[in-house]
Structure 1
């Protein structure tokens, strides 16, 4: 294992231990109530720096552990002062932490020129570009196409009876469904796609009897088949390009 990868794993492990393993619900609750007055917030930030120092084992270097402790404190304070504690805030919080880790990794990496060269080759690689474009296609344009293609059936169902489902649940399910199918195709696991179809059929089996419930099931089936077909098509094209 090269030094660059080792440093990255050490920094990431320290963060995971700090934010997810050693941080208890009581700590989180105390910080949410008292915010900057909570001593847990300060201890949590110090723990981030201490674990970084111990895992890096660069005993004469204190700049990175101290920098991580200080930035961890202010990032968490921003999160505590946010109006809502939702997924968006959580993702921004983790993104900022990872950004700090990336800067620390860059600072500690003795082969910065080689890393830059590797990143340049990575982002100009047809393999990387094909896979990235494929994932973006199945997540965004395919969902848009399916939504437009099934709009008339969705409106027909809505006219008869309001759909009783979670808001945007179908769109989110479809995104993860297409990502999974695309990944299975890239990893040459075509057979597993059949299990996905079977699992989704079982979930909808009880709703396919009569009336509007049957129309809903048919609508979901149409969308599912379109989702599967387009994902398989894109996945197959990407495989032709990269293999």
Structure 2
């Protein structure tokens, strides 16, 4: 019981710090600077990870595909506006920036969801 409480607390901490962690990676990997005034992308990321965690805990893995599908629609629309980059080691396209953030968010959300689904009470018996 105590181990499960500690695990849920750890998952909560990881969830709360996932936004700044993803933002740090995006800043390091990208020459594109997205506006920081509205924080809409950060909020979308938190909601995305929360949905992923909920879907994993409910064992509704196929529902995670809805998140990926909704982001791919956004990426398809942005592809028409992407500039060509001269720095191959940096992500310079807006759609790739969004895709990288989405994949990081998806991965972190899945890891937290899988971590939260561990049940230590079955190990004691």
Same fold (TM over 0.5): yes
For residues 147 and 224 of structure 1, the distance between their equivalents in structure 2, rounded to whole angstroms, comes to 11
| CA shift for structure 1 position 165 | 8.0
For residues 194 and 135 of structure 1, the distance between their equivalents in structure 2, rounded to whole angstroms, comes to 23
For residues 129 and 207 of structure 1, the distance between their equivalents in structure 2, rounded to whole angstroms, comes to 42
TM-score of the superposed pair, with normalisation by structure 2: 0.75
Cα separation, partners in 2 of 1:179 and 1:228, compared to 1, 3 Å: same
Structure 2 residue aligned with 1:211: 83
| CA shift for structure 1 position 152 | 2.9
Structure 1: gaps spanning 5 or more residues: 1-123
For residues 36 and 14 of structure 2, the distance between their equivalents in structure 1, rounded to whole angstroms, comes to 26
Displaced runs of 4 or more, over 2 A? 124-133, 163-166, 240-243
**2:55 alignment partner, one of 173, 184, 187:** 184
Looking at both structures, which has the greater relative contact order when contacts are Cα pairs under 8 Å and sequence separation is at least 6? 2
For residues 94 and 29 of structure 2, the distance between their equivalents in structure 1, rounded to whole angstroms, comes to 9
Aligned residues: 113
TM-score of the superposed pair, with normalisation by structure 1: 0.41
Cα separation, partners in 2 of 1:151 and 1:164, compared to 1, 3 Å: closer
| CA shift for structure 1 position 129 | 3.9
Structure 1 residue aligned with 2:113: 235
CA displacement, residues 170-197 of structure 1 (integer Å, 9 cap, x when unaligned) = 1111111111111111111111001110
Structure 2: gaps spanning 5 or more residues: 85-91
For residues 137 and 203 of structure 1, the distance between their equivalents in structure 2, rounded to whole angstroms, comes to 27
